[in-house]
């Protein structure tokens, strides 16, 4: 039933444009991870603070980020905020949506990592005269990031793949958006998306292998 002649040349001719899109995809994923990690550390701090309001904020954030589709979060960043007159560009909406998602998942990863660090370490640090913030920053946080490093890699891969949801808010400069544009122009659907899939695979595989090498170097005991 599948009758289709593949024209790979037509797809390869578009490779430079697609690679430009891939750069934007990596850029968004990296930014969303950096901001996401910072926010997640903050959320984790909120949870540890013992303050009802702060831990309430953290819990709500994590609940929404983890229990609604990323598509919904990105759509809300664009059209949801848009209905209140706050107009974000597709790029910002996508970045905001993914960052929100990342922060929620990472906060949960960090919580798990924290559980692996014995409480006695904090107590020991405190008894040495460190303030709670200092004890967290100097003793707990570095260990937490080490334990959570590989889960963070997973989230990075997820962030890269989530950029493809940007098309729902009018994004057309990332890898998926560029591919979709080219598809409309040429109708070479299968070649173009196969090529995009390979590029996505290569990016995420590079991230995974890179992270493993970094981990092996940094986290030797």
Partner 1 sequence: MRALLTAAALVASASVAHADKLDDIIASGTLRCAVVLDFPPMGFRDENNNPQGFDVDYCNDLAAALGVQSEIVETPFPERIPALMSGRVDVGVASTSDTLERAKTVGFSIPYFAFEMAVTSNDSSGVTSFESMKGKTVGAVAGTYEAIALEEQVNAWGEGEFRPYQTQADVFLALSQGQLDATVSTSTVAQANVKSGNYPGITVVGKAPFDTDYVALFTNREEYGFINYLNLFVNQQIRTGRYEELYAKWVGGDVPSLTVPNAYR
Residues lying near partner 1 in the complex (CB under 8 A) are found at: 1-4, 7, 10, 78-79, 82-83, 85, 87, 89-90, 167-170, 172, 177, 180-181, 183-190
Supply the minimum distance, in Å, between the C-beta of residue 68 and partner 1: 19
Supply the minimum distance, in Å, between the C-beta of residue 219 and partner 1: 43
Which residues fall within 8 angstroms of residue 140, CB to CB, at 6 or more apart? Answer: 114, 117, 121, 122
Closest CA to 90 of 12, 164, 2: 164
Residue 157 or 167: the one with the smaller Cβ distance to partner 1 is: 167
Residue 70 or 207: the one with the smaller Cβ distance to partner 1 is: 70
- Distance between CA atoms of 117 and 94, rounded to whole angstroms? 34
Supply the minimum distance, in Å, between the C-beta of residue 213 and partner 1: 38
Residues written for the chain? 221
Closest CA to 98 of 68, 70, 69: 70
Supply the minimum distance, in Å, between the C-beta of residue 103 and partner 1: 25
Rounded to the nearest 10°, the torsion over CA 156, 160, 165, 171 is 120
Residue 50 or 85: the one with the smaller Cβ distance to partner 1 is: 85
């Amino acid at each position: 039933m599948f009758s289709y002649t593949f024209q790979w040349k037509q797809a390869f001719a578009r490779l430079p444009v697609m690679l430009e899109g891939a750069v934007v995809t990596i850029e968004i994923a990296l930014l969303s991870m950096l901001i996401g990690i910072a926010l997640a550390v903050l959320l984790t701090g909120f949870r540890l603070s013992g303050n009802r309001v702060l831990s309430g904020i953290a819990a709500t954030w994590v609940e929404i980020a983890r229990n609604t589709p990323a598509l919904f979060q990105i759509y809300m960043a664009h059209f949801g905020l848009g209905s209140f007159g706050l107009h974000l560009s597709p790029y910002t909406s996508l970045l905001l949506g993914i960052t929100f998602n990342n922060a929620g998942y990472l906060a949960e990863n960090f919580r798990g990592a924290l559980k692996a660090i014995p409480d006695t370490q904090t107590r020991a640090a405190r008894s040495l005269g460190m303030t709670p913030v200092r004890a967290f920053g100097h003793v707990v946080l570095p260990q937490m990031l080490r334990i959570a490093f590989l889960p963070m890699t997973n989230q990075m891969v997820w962030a890269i793949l989530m950029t493809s949801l940007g098309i729902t808010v009018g994004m057309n400069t990332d890898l998926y958006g560029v591919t979709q544009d080219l598809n409309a122009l040429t109708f070479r659907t299968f070649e173009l998306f196969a090529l995009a899939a390979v590029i996505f695979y290569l990016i995420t595989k590079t991230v995974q292998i890179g992270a493993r090498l970094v981990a092996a170097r940094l986290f030797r005991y």
